[in-house]
Each structure stands twice: as structure tokens, then as C-alpha cells.
Amino acid sequence: MAAQNGKDLLIKLDMNGAGLFETIAGLRATRISFNAESVDVTSLESAGGWRELLAGAGVKTAAISGSGVFKDESTDERARQIFFDGEIPVFQVIIPDFGIVEGPFQVTSLDYAGAYNGEATYEVSMSSAGALAFTAV
């Protein structure tokens, strides 16, 4: 796989609940993280006293985040609405030359900032709220 442009890692949000996905405006940096808890099943019978883990068990989570320039476009308005209304819509994360991760996420953090002599910026964080699907490209 060749090197990829960071700007091609996109966070898209369902604008109307009907699968109309749009890229969140103004983002400069995006990130997706996957985590899985382990379930320790080590016992006195474990070979050599080595820890054993139960395959397929434990809670899986994903977190997506982004930061960028505040543009006050329709996607900004939708993100604010989702946060204040407590909605859990479907998001997509486009990972270039890898695939698309799609599923329900809750907006857990929404920060706005601005310096006197700079642009207004924002940061948004989301946590998975259900099963995610992965579609390879």
C-alpha cells in the first residue's frame, strides 16, 4: 500500500437519518481508534502459569475525533444538534485505500476555541454506541 494523504481520512455524518452522508466541514485532523477489552481466564491449570485470554470476549469500542476550522456550515449545525439533542446517528469514517467504518456514534465532546488574532476552531469526539460495519475497498 502506498503512502496516503491525511486529508483523505474523512469523517462523514448522516445528515437526515436516511443515509445522506456529508463530510464534516472544516476538519484538519481526524482520528479513529479501536479498542477491545481482554477477558482473563487464567487458572491453576494454565500451562506454565502463563496468562490465558478468552477469544472473542470483552467489549469492543471505537472512538473518532477531529479538529479543524469552524465554518458554521450545515454539518456544523447538525453536529451541534446531535450533541444537544442526545442523538446517536450513524457516522462513516473513510480510511483511504483501506475501507469504510460505519455505525452509530454519540458525540461525547464538542469544543470551540478562538484566539484574538486567529481563526475560530473546534474539536469533536464521538464514541461508538452499537455494532460497527467495515467495508473493504
CATH 3.30.2450 fits 6-136, yes or no: no
Average pLDDT estimate for 99-105: 96
pLDDT reading at 112 higher than 80:
yes
- pLDDT given at position 1: 63
pLDDT reading at 34 higher than 70:
yes
**In the predicted model, what is the mean pLDDT of the chain?**
92
pTM: 0.87
Domain residue ranges in the chain: 6-136
**Residue 25 has which C-alpha cell?**
466541514
Three-class SS state of 8? helix
Model pLDDT for residues 61-81, shown as the tens digit of each residue: 999 999 999 888 888 889 899
User: For 67, phi and psi rounded to 5 degrees?
Assistant: -145, 150
pLDDT reading at 6 higher than 70:
yes
Integer CA distances (angstroms), 12 to 73, 113, 118, 119, in order: 14, 22, 26, 23
